[in-house]
Amino acid sequence: MFHELHHRTLFKSITWLIVGFLVTFGVLYFFTRNAKDSLIDAILIQILKFIFFYIHERIWNKSNYGQEIKISKIVK
């Protein structure tokens, strides 16, 4: 059974944090036209989302729902 190690989950969380930050900042800036407030809000939102994403991934890692063990045959 495949379960992610903590460092893989952490790396996925960080890359998602970057993508999410850029999207969040872009949307906030589009609507407010205020870079400083958009930046502060995007940072706070992403910190919270990062924490909850990591917890969410670790909880899912304890489940085998939707996972399948595949055994490959070695041909000589």
pLDDT digits (tens, 9 = 90+) for 11-62: 887 898 899 899 999 999 999 999 999 999 999 998 898 899 889 988 888 8
**Confidence (pLDDT) at 48:** 92
**Confidence (pLDDT) at 8:** 87
Question: Residue 5 — very low, low, confident or very high, per pLDDT cuts 50/70/90?
Answer: confident
**Confidence (pLDDT) at 62:** 85
CA 63 to the chain's CA centroid:
18
For residue 1, pLDDT over 60 is answered with no
42 CB-contact burial (10 Å; exposed 0-12 / middle 13-18 / buried 19+): buried
Full-model pTM: 0.64
User: CB–CB of 29/66 below 8 Å?
Assistant: no
Place of tokens 């930046």: 39
